[in-house]
């Protein structure tokens, strides 16, 4: 199937209010343009340099989301244009984003990444670390970032019950956070393999790559 048909099929399954982030990492400009010409405007990348090159070359009405792990020394390259940073998992990083956003006289929307998977390798905060971060005095002084919600990645497994449980945990944390901070509205969970489970558990934003663009080739 074509990219256009893949997009159409996926969008048809998304409830109202769920945003599709088309994950275009490793994909060339022409491929992204195919999705753009089919109407897609929100794209996700996991490397800042790759995203910046694409931002330079592609139409300026694209919303670029940084979905990968963010190195602090690279925030400056995306501070001018990034729409949403999904993978914020420390106050240190948040401070750097705030500092770079200030230079461009803007507020950068961020999601805090939670560690929900059983795997050791995934980044993210646990509920206690989240609590510490948002209740710290330093956090309150940051004027050029806005926390819009949470992001999480479930364990990579065939065990749908495990995935479901991890998404439920994230949703619970999200609901608690909503009571503590204003403007919490985005729950970013779900990828090609598990987005229907994520939606059933309350996702408001899915990050889908291979089901739109086909398998990635890293060679
Ligand atoms: C690559 C990636 C995705 C998309 O993965 P697919 O399985 O191709 O849909 C989603 N979220 C993050 C954080 C990713 O790195």
What pTM did the predictor assign? Answer: 0.97
**What pLDDT shows up at residue 217?**
78
Is there an atom of ligand 1 within 6 Å of 108 CB? no
Is there an atom of ligand 1 within 6 Å of 190 CB? no
Q: Which atom of ligand 1 approaches the CA of 23 most closely?
A: 4
Is there an atom of ligand 1 within 6 Å of 27 CB? no
Fold classification of 3-207 is: TIM Barrel (3.20.20)
Mean pLDDT for the chain overall: 96
- Reported as a single tens digit per residue, the pLDDT across 153-202 is 999 999 999 999 999 999 999 999 999 999 999 999 999 999 999 999 99
Is there an atom of ligand 1 within 6 Å of 46 CB? yes
Helix (H) / strand (E) containing 11: helix 3-13
CA–CA distance, 181 with 207 (Å, rounded to integer): 24
pLDDT in 10s for each residue of the chain, 219 residues: 899 999 999 999 999 999 999 999 999 999 999 999 999 999 999 999 999 999 999 999 999 999 999 999 999 999 999 999 999 999 999 999 999 999 999 999 999 999 999 877 668 999 999 999 999 999 999 999 999 999 999 999 999 999 999 999 999 999 999 999 999 999 999 999 999 999 999 999 999 999 999 988 776
Q: Which atom of ligand 1 approaches the CA of 193 most closely?
A: 7
Q: How far is CA 149 from CA 9, 43, 47, 185, in A?
A: 27, 18, 21, 6
């Amino acid at each position: 199937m074509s990219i256009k048909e893949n997009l159409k099929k996926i969008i048809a399954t998304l409830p109202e209010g769920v945003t599709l982030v088309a994950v275009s990492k490793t994909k060339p400009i022409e491929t992204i343009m195919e999705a753009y010409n089919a109407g897609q405007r929100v794209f996700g990348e996991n490397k800042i340099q790759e995203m910046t090159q694409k931002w330079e070359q592609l139409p300026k009405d694209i919303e670029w989301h940084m979905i990968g792990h963010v190195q602090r020394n690279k925030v400056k390259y995306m501070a001018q244009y990034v729409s949403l940073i999904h993978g914020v998992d420390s106050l240190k990083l948040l401070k750097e984003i705030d500092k770079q956003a200030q230079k461009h006289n803007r507020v950068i929307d961020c999601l805090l990444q939670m560690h929900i998977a059983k795997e050791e390798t995934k980044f993210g905060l646990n509920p206690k670390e989240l609590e510490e971060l948002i209740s710290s005095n330093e956090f309150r002084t940051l004027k050029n970032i806005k926390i819009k919600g949470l992001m999480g990645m479930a364990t990579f497994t065939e065990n749908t019950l495990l995935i479901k449980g991890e998404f439920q945990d994230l949703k619970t944390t999200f609901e608690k956070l909503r009571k503590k901070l204003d403007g919490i509205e985005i729950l970013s969970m779900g990828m090609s393999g598990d987005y229907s489970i994520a939606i059933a558990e309350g996702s408001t934003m899915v990050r889908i790559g291979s089901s739109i663009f086909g398998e990635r080739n890293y060679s």
